[in-house]
Chain A
Amino acid sequence: MKINRRHLVIGGAASAAVLPFGTAARAQAKEVVIGVIYPLSGASAQIGVDAQKAFQTAAELINNKYDFDLPLARDEGLPGLGGAKVRLVFADHQADPQKGRAEAERLITQEKVSAIVGTYQSAVAVTVSQICERYQVPFLSADNSSPSLHRRGLKYYFRAAPHDEMFSQAMFDFFDALKKKGKKIETLALFHEDTIFGTDSSNAQLKLAKDRGYKIVADIKYRANSPSLTAEVQQLKAADADVLMPSSYTTDGILLIRTMGELGYKAKNIVAQDAGFSEKALYDAVGDKIPGVISRGSFSLDLAAKRPMVGKINDMYKERSGKDFNDYSSRQFMGLIVMADAINRAKSTDGEKIREALVATDMPGEKTIMPWKQVKFDAEGQNTFADPVLLQYVGGKFVTIFPEQAAVAEAIWPMP
C-alpha cells in the first residue's frame, strides 16, 4: 500500500484517539495479564502441567490475603495498581522453539499480556525472549538454566534462578571439598542431550574440569528421546569414571538408568545436572537403582525447618498437584512472585516501566522460598545471588548436602 498524506492523517488521528483511552483503561485495570509459556503437550507435557499448578498457587497467593513473609502475600492483588488481580494466560509451546515464538507473539498481540514467564526448555526461551525483546515486553526465565541465555545483550530478559555454570561450579566446589577430605575423584564422564540445555551444560563442565584438573574420560552427546541408549551406556561403562554427570530430561534419564542396569553397569557416583533427575517420575521408575544419586538444585524442602512458610506454601501446591515442590515448580512459583512484585512496584503495565522495576529489584532471600541470598539482577538480567545447592537422594527423598551453610547432612560418598 502506498502511504499518502490522507492515510497519515487518519492513522495519526486514530492512534491519538486510541492512545489516551488505552492508557486510561490500563490505569484502572482490575487485572494484570501475565503470559505463561510451557510445554503443555508433547514429551515434556508433565512439566508444563505441574508448572501450571505452581503458577496458579503463586497467583492465588498474590490475589488473596495470606500471612506469609513473601512479597504481595499480605495484600489482596497488587496494591501498586489499586488492588488489580493477576490473571494468567497459559500457552503451549510443545517444546518447539518455533511454536514458542508464535505463542509469545500471540500472547503479546492478542492477549495483551504485560509480561511473559517461561519456558522449561532453554531452546524455547531463546525464541520467546527474542520476541519479547522486539515488543519490549519483559520476559522472566523461571527455570531455564543455559548460561548463554542472559549473554545475548537483551534488555528485557531476566532470570532470578542460577544458571548451569553456577550449578556446575557448585558441583566442582563439592568435588574439591571431597578431595580435600581424602576421597578419590579423578575421572569424570559427561552424558548430555543434544539441545541447548545439554550442550551448554557440558561446555560448562568441560571448562571447569580442565581448570580444576579433572580428567574427562567420556563426553557423550546423545539424541534426546532416543528409543535406545545401549551404545551410549556401553561407552560409559567402558570409561567407568569416578563420577557420571548426566544432563538429561526425564525420559532419557529413565532410559539411561534402566539401560545401565541391563548392561551391568553400576556408576560409582552420579552427580546430575537436575532436569530429569529432579523429577518424581524418574524416581518412581528407577529410583531403587540409584540410591544416593546427587543432583544440583535450587530448592530443598529442608528449608521448611528454617522457614515454616516454605512448608505451608508447599502444602498449597501439593493440594493442587499431588506433588511436593521440586527444583522446577519452586523456581516457577518464585518466577511469578518476582515478576508480579516488579509490576506492583512499577505501578504500571507498561513494558519499559516494568523493566525498570525489575532492574531495581532487591528482594531479600528470606522473603523467598529458595535458599538464595537475595534476588538482584546484574546488568545482563541475571541474579548472581542465587546460590545453588546439591541434593542427595537418600531413603526416598532429597536432603541438602552442599554448600556447607545450607547442608543438613553429610554426603554419602561413594554412592551406596
Chain B
Amino acid sequence: MTTATIIQSLASGLLMGLLYGLVAVGLALIFGLMDVTNFAHGEFLMLAMYITFFLFTFFAIDPLLSAPLVGGAMFLFGAVAYLFVIRFAMRAKANIGMVQIFTTFGLAILMRGLAQYFFTPDYRSINVSWLGGKTISFGGIFLPVPQLVGALVSLAAFGALYFFMKKTDFGRALEATREDAGAVALVGIDKNKVFALGWGLGSALIGLAGAVMAMFFYIYPDVGASFALIAYVTVALGGFGSVFGAFAGGIIVGLVEATTALLLPPSLKAVGIYAVYLLVVFIRPRGLFGSI
C-alpha cells in the first residue's frame, strides 16, 4: 500500500462523503422539523436526477446550470408533497408513527412505479456535460471534477442552509416550530406553512444533490435505493434531528467506507459503515450530534 493509494482513498472517501452528507441533510431537516422520516427520500433523489436529465436532453441545459432550477423544482415538489399527502397523514388520530411510515413508503413505491411507467426502466446518463469525465490529477492522485464540484456545491448548500436557519425570520420560525409546534401556533405562525417550507427546503437540497450526481452516475427508477439506505444510516449516525450531524455523518460515512475498502476486501466495505454506526448507537444512542 503506497502513500498515494492511501491519499487517493481518503480523497475519494471525502468527496463521496460530502455527497452523502448533501443527500442526508434534507432527510435530517425534515425529521428534525416534524419527526417524520421520509421513506421516499431516495425517490426524491431519483426524480431530481431525471429532471436534470430531461433538462439536459431536451433543452441542452448543463447539469451545472440546471442545479438551481432542479433545486427550485424540487422545492415546489416537496412543498406540494407535504400539502397534499403528508399533511393528511399527520392528522391520524392513532398510530401516527405507522401512518407516516406507510404514507411516505407508499409515496416511494408510487414514484418508482410512475418513473418506470413514464421514463421506462432504461439506464440513462449524461455523457457530454461540461465537467463530465474530466479529472484533475497531481502526484498520482486523481480527483474527478464532477465529484469535486459536487463537494463544493454540498459545502455551499450547507453554508446557505446554516445561514438561512440562523439569520432569517423564516429560518427562526422553522427553528421555533421544531422546538414547539404548539407554542408557535399561539403566536400566529401558521404551522402548515412552516412545515411546507421545511419539506420544500429539504427537497431542494436533494434536488441539488440529484443535479450534481447526474453528471457522473447512471439514472434509472431505482437509483435512489442505494443512496437512501446510506442516508438513513448517516442521519442516525450524525444524530436525529441535527442538520449539522447529518452533514458530519455523511463525511464520516464516506471516509469510513474508503478506509474499510482499503483494509478489507471491497465487498465488505459497507461492513465498516455499519460497525461504526453500531458503535455510535451503543455509546451514544441519540447519535453523535443528536439533541433528542
Residues of A within 8 A of B (CB): 41-43, 45-46, 48-49, 194, 220-223, 225-232, 234-235, 238, 250-251, 254-255, 258, 261-264, 279, 281-282, 284-286, 288-289
Which chain B residues border A258 with CB–CB below 8 Å?
A: 133, 216
Question: Smallest distance from the beta carbon of A359 to chain B beta carbons, Å?
Answer: 37
Contacts of B218-250 to chain A: CB distance below 8 A: 218, 220-222, 225-227, 230
Contact of A284 among B116, B125, B258 (CB under 8 A): B125
Among A231, A250, A288, point to the contact of B266 (Cβ < 8 A). Answer: A231
Partner-A contacts on B (CB < 8 A): 5, 8-9, 12-13, 16, 112-113, 116, 120-123, 125, 127, 133, 135, 137, 142, 144, 147, 216-218, 220-222, 225-227, 230, 257-258, 261-262, 265-267, 269-270
- Asked if A228 and B121 sit within 8 Å, CB to CB, the answer is no
Chain A residue with minimal CB distance to B135?
A262
B217 contacts across to A, CB distance below 8 A: 227, 255
Would you call A46 and B266 a contact (CB within 8 A)? no
Report which of A221, A250, A254, A288 forms a contact with B265, defined as CB distance below 8 A: A221
Q: In the complex, what residues of A have CB within 8 A of residue B266's CB? A: 220-223, 229, 231-232, 235
CB of A263 within 8 A of CB of B267, answer no
Query: Across the interface, do B16 and A227 meet the contact criterion of CB distance under 8 Å?
Result: yes
Complex CA distance for A220 and B147, rounded to whole angstroms: 24
Q: Which 9 residue pairs are nearest across A and B when measured between Cβ atoms?
A: A231-B261, A45-B121, A262-B144, A281-B123, A285-B125, A230-B12, A46-B121, A221-B267, A232-B266
Q: A221-B267, A251-B218 are in contact. Are A264 and B226 (CB under 8 A)?
A: no
Which residues of B lie under 8 Å from residue A282 when comparing CB positions? Answer: 123
In the complex, chain A residues whose CB is within 8 Å of the CB of B258: 230-231
Known A49-B121, A222-B267, A254-B125; contact A262-B142, beta-carbon cutoff 8 A: yes
Q: Which of B5, B9, B218, B261 contacts A285 (CB 8 A)?
A: B218
Q: Which residue of B lies closest to A265 (CB)?
A: B142
Q: Judging by beta carbons under 8 Å apart, are B123 and A251 in contact? A: yes
Chain A residues near B257: list those with CB within 8 A.
Answer: 228, 231
Q: How far is the CB of A248 from chain B (nearest CB, A)?
A: 13
9 contacts between A and B (CB under 8 A): A49-B121, A223-B269, A223-B270, A227-B16, A230-B9, A231-B266, A234-B9, A264-B135, A264-B137
Output the least CB separation between A115 and chain B (Å): 26
* A43/B222 in contact, CB under 8 A: yes
Contact A225 B226 (CB under 8 A): yes
Known contacts A222-B266, A228-B12; A261 and B218 CB within 8 A of each other: no
> What is the CA–CA distance of A49 and B123 in the complex, to the nearest angstrom?
12
Cα distance, A263 to B135, chains bound together (Å): 8
- Decide if B269 touches A281 in the complex (CB within 8 Å): no
**Chain B residues near A232 (CB-CB < 8 A):** 261, 266
Given A194-B267, A227-B16, A251-B218: A46 in contact with B230 (beta carbons within 8 A): no
CB distance from A310 to the nearest CB of B (A): 25
Minimal beta-carbon separation of B254 from chain A (angstroms): 9
Closest to B147 in A: A262
Closest to B121 in A: A45
- In the bound complex, how far is the Cα of B266 from the Cα of A238, in angstroms? 14
Residues of chain A lying within 8 A (CB to CB) of residue B8:
234, 263
B9, B113, B133, B222: which contacts A231 (Cβ < 8 A)? B9
Q: Are A288 and B220 in contact (CB under 8 A)?
A: no
Query: Which one, A222, A223, A264, contacts B142 given CB within 8 A?
Result: A264
Are B121 and A261 in touch, CB under 8 angstroms?
A: no
B123 touches A285 (CB 8 A): yes
CB distance from A5 to the nearest CB of B (A): 50
Closest to B227 in A: A227
Tell me which of A43, A231, A234, A255 has the highest count of chain B C-beta atoms within 10 A of its own C-beta: A231
State whether A230 touches B16 (Cβ < 8 A): yes
Tell me which residues across on chain B come within 8 A of A223, comparing CB atoms. Answer: 266-267, 269-270
